[in-house]
Amino acid sequence: MSNRRSFIKGLSVTFAGLPLSSQLTRLQSTDWSDWSDISTLYPQDTAGRLNFNCGSAGVQPTVVLESMGAHQRALSAFAPYEIYEQHKDTIDKSKLRLAELINVNKEQVALVRNTTAAINDVLYGIQWRDGDEVVISTADYPSVWNTLKTLQQRYGIRINTVRLDLNQDSEEAIVNGYRTKISDKTRLIIATHVTHREGQLMPVALISALGKAQGIDVLIDGAHAVGHVEVDVQQIGCQYYATSLHKWLSAPLGCGLLYVQKDKLASLYPPTSYAASQQDLMDKFTWIGTFAFEKWMTLDTVLDFQDSIGLQNKSTRLKAMSTRFREGLAGIPGLIIAGNQKDYGGITALRVEGINNSKLHNQLMEDYGFHVKKVGIQKVLYNRASFNLHLTDSQVDDLIAAISDMV
């Protein structure tokens, strides 16, 4: 084991002089038994700060950074569009692998910028009628709410709000909350797969089944799901699924994915400059003008890295880190963890009664160099820590110790 450990710890150094193919060969031959060794495959902040907010933007492993840099250099050395065309087959294979990752047909997915862009393509693409209703919960992301309010002003749609308290609502109560907001005018249900504040896994399959039973389309916001937990869109049964690849999958910033059920595609008119002949194709979502080609060209490396670890291994590890964090803080008087204590992954949001949580957030950064995210839940401030493979158990313990010292 000592030889294996030394070998893995040397990867971050030896990778720099190796071709990408050789780097990936080494990654794929690793047994991934020591997570502290795996953390060395990620870049380290030169100031010694730690990112406990990869739920906003993930940390890319060194091999992905080097791959993207190589593609960027190639694009700059010649004609970018020509270089991009040469990588079309590889990008197409990456789309296939992403489709397989969420268990859908490749022809029903499109590469987009992020979850918000994907959701907006659907919401602005639907041909709304005055009086149409949308059901959405208080757990959903603010950008989605912003778009709905714009559509409300523009088309007169009605927003029916499911008011959730995830600190106490059971799965049955959550689904019933959606059920009570449905009417004969409901056109769409929006639900989040993993909530961005609490990190709680939502019963999206049950919510989708509720929509199906009443002939209502369902849009799932999967921003925090792909690369974090197993995602099976066919099992979920929704008509639309939107996700970001730069969070938990650790792809370059600006990579997202949209799935649209085949029979819904032709009726969507996204705000992109596509030709009329593409109305029935997912390609219509990608006509956005010039973009950072190197990001899509790097997706094969991103997926190779994830496959070398295994999604189940990674998902188990992320929840274990969050569990370690929760258990380590359990003795603090007045500590409150947002959401339930069962359906969570690598995200934990906390507050301590009697403690100024904004001050706690700022001190963690200023005094310890630990970056967490402030989130508001029912108008109460929490601090959210989201973990990924660049972090070690000892660093999680350091965050626990810092919070304990401050309160």
Least confident stretch, 12-21, 127-136, 163-172, 183-192: 12-21
Domains of the chain: residue spans and CATH: 83-301 (3.40.640.10)
In the chain, % of residues over pLDDT 90:
86
Tell me if 154 sits within 8 A of 126, measured CB to CB: no
Mean pLDDT of 296-316: 94
Quick one: pLDDT at residue 36? 84
Mean pLDDT of the chain: 92
343 three-state secondary structure: coil
pLDDT above 60 for 21: no
pLDDT above 70 for 14: no
Mean pLDDT of 52-59: 94
Per-residue pLDDT tens for 209-240?
999 999 999 999 999 999 999 999 999 999 99
Quick one: pLDDT at residue 24? 56
Which pTM does this prediction carry? 0.93
Interatomic CA distance for residues 375 and 163, integer angstroms: 17
pLDDT above 90 for 35: no
Tell me if 15 sits within 8 A of 62, measured CB to CB: yes
Quick one: pLDDT at residue 250? 95
pLDDT above 70 for 270: yes
Mean pLDDT of 369-385: 95
Mean pLDDT of 173-184: 98
Per-residue pLDDT tens for 76-121?
999 999 999 999 999 999 999 999 999 999 999 999 999 999 999 9
Mean pLDDT of 291-303: 96
Mean pLDDT of 333-339: 94
Quick one: pLDDT at residue 2? 38
Residue closest to 261 by CA, chosen among 275, 280, 287? 280
Q: 106 is written with which tokens?
A: 């490749």
Tell me if 25 sits within 8 A of 304, measured CB to CB: no
Q: How far is CA 95 from CA 99, 258, 277, 297, 396, in A?
A: 6, 11, 22, 11, 34
Tell me if 189 sits within 8 A of 157, measured CB to CB: no
Return all residues near 40 (Cβ < 8 A) that are at least 6 apart.
8, 9, 11, 12
